[in-house]
């Protein structure tokens, strides 16, 4: 499979693919010689650049295809990071839009609010934010889409195949029953946490003074 990504924004974007390893096979200068290609799972694309990646789509599923910018910790890729999420900034937005009519606020839920933004897109272009997934809102935001890999997909057929049907027993779920006692190695037992004690005994230490004389000192 081949994907070309062009960066028309004002900053670089390290684009990352889940589930597969790819080979960078082209730049904005065109396809690269085979000897200069390199394997990756993330490729950084600077402003105005293009990267072409090729890979064997042999892992069925719905795979995340997104940017790895660190500021995306504002959304579901980050945890316990202090942000302005939840701050009511409606009054600030009202004042800004008086100066910049087309201003778009990020929202009170960080980049997850981009799931509700629908903008017109050119043909054969994927949205930067995919809204709902099979288990609810995706909410990853920030240059995010899904790559759907299926067996027997006809060549040149770009219709949405629907959500991947997970084999029975492969989907995580919340366990509400009683929790079993976790199995532990012997090294993790109580004995391993006790301080090591040794019997006290007298030792003799020879101390050599600068003048050359030595003197014995007993202690423990």
Q: How many structural domains compose the chain?
A: 1
Res. 115: pLDDT tops 70:
no
Give burial (CB, 10 Å; 0-12/13-18/19+) of 51: buried
CATH code at position 7: 2.60.40
Domain membership flag for residue 34 = yes
Band (114; pLDDT cuts 50, 70, 90) = low
Domain assignment present for 220: no
Mean pLDDT of the chain: 77
- Say what the pLDDT of residue 26 is: 96
Residue 109's pLDDT band, with cuts at 50, 70 and 90, is low
Which has the closest alpha carbon to 55: 15, 7, 28?
Answer: 15
Please report the pLDDT score of residue 155 as a whole number. Answer: 83
pTM: 0.58
Q: Which has more pLDDT, 201 or 175?
A: 175
Q: Which is more confidently placed, 204 or 197?
A: 204
Does residue 130 form part of some domain?
yes
pLDDT at residue 130 in the model = 52
Q: Which domain does 123 fall in, by range?
A: 2-82+110-149
Tell me the per-residue pLDDT of 39-82, one tens digit each, with 9 for 90 and over.
999 999 999 999 999 999 999 999 988 888 876 555 555 555 55
Query: Is the model more confident about 78 or about 173?
Result: 173
pLDDT of the residue at 37: 96
Within-domain flag for 129: yes
Please answer whether residues 93 and 129 qualify as being in contact, where contact means their C-beta atoms are separated by less than 8 angstroms: no
**Contact partners, residue 19, CB within 8 Å, separation at least 6:** 59, 61, 63, 147, 149
Determine the pLDDT at residue 112.
55
Residues 159-171 pLDDT 10s: 889 999 999 999 9
- Residue 195 has a pLDDT of 61
Compute the average pLDDT of residues 161-184.
Answer: 87
Inside any domain, residue 45:
yes
Is 198 inside any structural domain?
A: no
Residue 159: what pLDDT?
87
- For the cut 90, the answer to whether the pLDDT of residue 108 exceeds it is no
Residue with tokens 């027997």: 152
């Amino acid at each position: 499979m081949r994907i070309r990504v062009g960066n028309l924004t004002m900053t670089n974007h390290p684009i990352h693919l889940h589930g597969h390893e790819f080979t960078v096979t082209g730049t904005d200068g065109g396809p690269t010689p085979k000897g200069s290609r390199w394997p990756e799972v993330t490729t950084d694309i600077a402003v105005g650049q293009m990267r072409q990646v090729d890979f064997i789509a042999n892992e069925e599923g719905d795979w995340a295809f997104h940017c790895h910018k660190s500021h995306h910790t504002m959304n579901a890729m980050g945890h316990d990071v202090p942000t302005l999420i939840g701050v009511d900034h409606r009054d600030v937005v009202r004042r800004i839009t008086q100066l910049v009519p087309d201003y778009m606020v990020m929202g009170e839920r960080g980049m997850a609010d981009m799931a509700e933004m629908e903008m017109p897109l050119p043909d054969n272009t994927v949205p930067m934010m995919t809204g709902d997934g099979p288990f609810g809102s995706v909410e990853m935001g920030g240059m995010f889409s899904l790559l759907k890999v299926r067996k027997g997909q006809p060549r040149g057929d770009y219709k949405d195949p629907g959500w991947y049907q997970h084999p029975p027993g492969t989907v995580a779920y919340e366990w509400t029953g009683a929790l079993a006692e976790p199995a532990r190695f012997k090294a993790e037992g109580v004995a391993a946490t006790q301080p090591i004690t040794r019997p006290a005994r007298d030792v003799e230490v020879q101390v050599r003074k600068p003048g050359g004389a030595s003197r014995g000192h007993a202690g423990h």
